[in-house]
């Protein structure tokens, strides 16, 4: 463990600490964020009504849409001079959800990311190759700061340039790999093409997340790379990577509960569900200063495990690996994509009908996305040069808006199937079982 005092804290002591931090959080949110104050007043709740962690259910939920409505800084609880970093992720209309971090927030995040790495046995003696993207996406910098906090050597590769990734992995003696699970398979595939035997490298663990993956994919990764493939969970509104992580037991993800309090609710009613029952995951961030987060609905489906303490000694509750989502969000190579984002691009382009179909598949080890788009009769019968220009324009604007490259296929009017109910906008052909 990186911090045994926190990670193995007796449960009764942990619940007391959570209650204290929740009271402080609610006072901070109520006093400094008009959005929270209005929501609590709507429910008739005041900060003094919150006495322990058991009172959490009295507080209102918040959603990604609330972040979008408060764009850009409406969720911030501190003056701008106290914000030292800003991250953002895409929203359903193309506007990002914006999260600001104070110095304490960055320190706490680095601490939790270090715990995630330590779950896989990483220590200060390791070299950690970070192949998540750096930038507004939280993955790269989150694991980078975690590696440094752990005392390990951080190798900031970011995503892509796979041949160089493999060269440095070999030459630098990398022992820990952080990336999406699909990219881990891509690394293995390219290494085989290069004639590099990854099984001879000193790799020992991998922290893989940012996209759905299965036990079958884990087994496949472990057959191709000499490491324990561990699931990591995080999302930008909560903190980024380091919210929860599997340990070497590979039996559920330990939530670092002194910072992040998990609930499972019925997605239809919002009622809390007991441990062992599947529902929607909700997080309250007990220590965040820049952007307080209370009862955030992640839309991820999982359960809190009810099979007792983990042999590793960590006392934080564990969540099962994700079982799906309650909304229509797709995850393409670690990037969140909503059909409504695609629609927002298409409706602004002349000559395009508001009928489209997103086809997601996996070729080799990487996700692919194709967008079939209906164009007007006159344009479809026009010269090829104009159709190619339109296809290039759509491709460019989708790339600019979503940060995902998609194959654009232009089709004749009335080609895409119509339905009497909700339009079918997505075909996800990936095998997730």
How many other β-carbons are positioned within 10 Å of the β-carbon of residue 269? 9
Give the residue among 119, 117, 78 at the shortest CA–CA distance from 99: 78
* Amino acid 431: pLDDT: 61
- Give the tens place of pLDDT for each residue, 356-377: 899 999 888 889 999 999 888 8
Domain span at residue 345 reads: 335-428
| Highest mean pLDDT, choosing among 37-46, 177-186, 380-389 | 37-46
Predicted confidence (pLDDT) at residue 354 exceeds the cutoff of 90: no
Residue 36 lies in a domain: no
Report the CATH number that the domain containing residue 417 is assigned in CATH. Answer: 3.30.300.30
Domain boundary among 298, 327, 356: 327
Residue 40 lies in a domain: no
**Do 254 and 372 lie in a common domain?**
no
**Do 163 and 232 lie in a common domain?**
yes
Predicted confidence (pLDDT) at residue 2 exceeds the cutoff of 70: yes
Residue 200 lies in a domain: yes
DSSP characters over 135-189: SSSHHHHHHHHHHHHHTPEEEE--S--HHHHHHHHHHTT--EEEE-HHHHHHHHH
Is residue 304 a contact partner of residue 318, using CB atoms and an 8 Å limit?
yes
- Give the tens place of pLDDT for each residue, 213-252: 778 779 889 999 999 999 999 998 999 999 999 999 999 9
Helix boundaries (H) for 243-318: none
Is residue 339 a contact partner of residue 328, using CB atoms and an 8 Å limit?
yes
Residue 248 lies in a domain: yes
Which residues fall within 8 angstroms of residue 11, CB to CB, at 6 or more apart?
A: 315
Q: What's the mean per-residue pLDDT of the chain?
A: 91
Under DSSP, is residue 243 helix (H, G, I), strand (E, B) or coil?
Answer: strand
**Do 107 and 228 lie in a common domain?**
yes
How many other β-carbons are positioned within 10 Å of the β-carbon of residue 225? 21
Residue 166 lies in a domain: yes
**Do 389 and 258 lie in a common domain?**
no
**Do 179 and 93 lie in a common domain?**
yes
186 compared with 320, residue with greater pLDDT: 320
Predicted confidence (pLDDT) at residue 424 exceeds the cutoff of 90: no
Q: What is the b/e burial string over 235-252, where b = at least 16 CB atoms within 10 angstroms of the residue's CB?
A: bbbbbbbbbbbbbeebbb
- Give the tens place of pLDDT for each residue, 250-262: 999 999 999 999 9
**Do 285 and 207 lie in a common domain?**
yes
- Distance, in Å, from the CA atom of 211 to the CA atom of 335, rounded to the nearest integer, reads 8
Under DSSP, is residue 128 helix (H, G, I), strand (E, B) or coil?
Answer: strand
- Distance, in Å, from the CA atom of 346 to the CA atom of 146, rounded to the nearest integer, reads 40
Domain boundary among 327, 353, 387: 327
Is residue 364 a contact partner of residue 189, using CB atoms and an 8 Å limit?
yes
* Amino acid 422: pLDDT: 46
**Do 210 and 131 lie in a common domain?**
yes
**Do 208 and 186 lie in a common domain?**
yes
Is residue 271 a contact partner of residue 265, using CB atoms and an 8 Å limit?
yes
User: Exposed, middle or buried, 104 (CB in 10 Å: 0-12/13-18/19+)?
Assistant: middle
* Amino acid 90: pLDDT: 56
- Distance, in Å, from the CA atom of 255 to the CA atom of 316, rounded to the nearest integer, reads 6
- Give the tens place of pLDDT for each residue, 153-196: 999 999 889 999 999 999 999 999 999 887 898 899 899 999 99
User: Exposed, middle or buried, 378 (CB in 10 Å: 0-12/13-18/19+)?
Assistant: exposed
- Give the tens place of pLDDT for each residue, 85-123: 999 975 444 578 999 999 999 999 999 999 999 999 999
Backbone angles phi, psi at 95, to 5 degrees: -75, 135
- Cα–Cα distances (Å) from 75 to 22, 64, 81, in that order, read 17, 12, 15
* Amino acid 186: pLDDT: 86
pTM of the entire predicted model: 0.81
**Do 181 and 261 lie in a common domain?**
yes
Residue 35 lies in a domain: no
* Amino acid 125: pLDDT: 98
- Cα–Cα distances (Å) from 224 to 347, 360, 363, in that order, read 44, 25, 18
- Cα–Cα distances (Å) from 228 to 121, 222, 223, 361, in that order, read 10, 6, 10, 26
Under DSSP, is residue 280 helix (H, G, I), strand (E, B) or coil?
Answer: strand
State mean pLDDT over 320-347: 82
Domain boundary among 279, 307, 327: 327
**Do 117 and 190 lie in a common domain?**
yes
Give the residue among 261, 292, 258, 278 at the shortest CA–CA distance from 74: 292
**Do 284 and 343 lie in a common domain?**
no
Residue 192 lies in a domain: yes
> What percentage of the chain reaches a pLDDT higher than 90?
71
* Amino acid 423: pLDDT: 56
**DSSP-assigned beta bridge partners for residue 335:** 332
What's the DSSP call for residue 345? H
Task: Work out how many domains the chain is built from and give that number.
Answer: 2
Predicted confidence (pLDDT) at residue 379 exceeds the cutoff of 90: no
Is residue 357 a contact partner of residue 371, using CB atoms and an 8 Å limit?
yes
Report the CATH number that the domain containing residue 195 is assigned in CATH. Answer: 3.40.50.12780
- Give the tens place of pLDDT for each residue, 55-95: 999 999 999 999 999 999 999 999 999 999 999 975 444 57
34 compared with 331, residue with greater pLDDT: 34
* Amino acid 352: pLDDT: 85
Query: Would residue 78 be called left, alpha or beta, if left means φ above 0 and alpha means ψ between -120 and 50 degrees?
Result: beta
**Do 258 and 371 lie in a common domain?**
no
Residue 221 lies in a domain: yes
Scanning the structure block, which residue is given the tokens 């041949």?
163
């Amino acid at each position: 463990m990186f911090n045994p005092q926190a990670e193995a804290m007796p449960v009764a002591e942990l619940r007391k600490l959570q209650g204290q931090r929740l009271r402080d959080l609610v006072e901070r949110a109520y006093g400094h964020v008009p959005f929270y104050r209005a929501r609590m007043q709507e429910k008739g709740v005041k900060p003094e009504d919150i006495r322990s962690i058991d009172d959490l259910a009295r507080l209102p939920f918040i959603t990604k849409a609330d972040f979008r409505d408060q764009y850009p800084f409406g969720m911030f609880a501190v003056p701008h001079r106290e914000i030292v970093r800003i991250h953002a992720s895409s929203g359903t209309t193309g506007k990002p959800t914006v999260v600001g971090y104070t110095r304490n927030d960055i320190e706490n995040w680095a601490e939790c990311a270090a715990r995630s790495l330590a779950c896989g046995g990483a220590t200060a003696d390791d070299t950690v190759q970070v192949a998540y993207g750096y930038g507004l996406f939280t993955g790269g910098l989150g694991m980078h700061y975690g590696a440094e906090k752990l005392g390990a050597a951080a190798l900031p590769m970011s995503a892509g340039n796979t041949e160089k990734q493999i060269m440095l992995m070999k030459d630098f003696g990398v022992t820990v790999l952080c990336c999406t699970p699909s990219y881990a398979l891509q690394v293995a595939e390219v290494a085989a093409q290069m004639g590099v035997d990854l099984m001879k490298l000193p790799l020992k663990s991998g922290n893989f997340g940012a996209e759905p993956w299965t036990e079958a994919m884990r087994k496949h990764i472990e057959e191709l790379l000499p490491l324990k493939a561990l699931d990591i969970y995080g999302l930008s509104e909560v903190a980024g990577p380091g919210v929860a992580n599997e340990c070497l037991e590979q039996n559920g993800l330990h939530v670092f509960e002194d910072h992040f309090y998990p609930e499972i609710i019925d997605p239809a009613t919002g009622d809390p569900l007991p441990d062992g029952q599947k529902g929607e995951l909700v997080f309250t961030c007990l220590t965040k200063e820049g952007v307080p987060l209370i009862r955030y609905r992640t839309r991820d489906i999982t359960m809190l495990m009810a099979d007792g303490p983990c042999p590793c000694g960590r006392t934080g509750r564990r969540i099962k690996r994700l079982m799906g989502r309650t909304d229509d969000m797709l995850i393409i190579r670690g990037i969140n994509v909503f059909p409504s984002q695609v629609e927002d691009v298409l409706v602004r382009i002349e000559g395009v009908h508001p009928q489209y179909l997103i086809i997601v598949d996996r070729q080799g080890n990487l996700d692919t996305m194709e967008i079939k788009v209906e164009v007007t009769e006159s344009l479809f019968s026009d010269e090829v040069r104009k159709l190619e220009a339109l296809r290039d324009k759509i491709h460019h604007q989708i790339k600019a808006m979503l940060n995902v490259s998609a194959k654009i296929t232009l089709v004749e009017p009335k080609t895409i199937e119509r339905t009497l109910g909700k339009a079918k906008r997505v075909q996800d052909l990936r095998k997730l079982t």
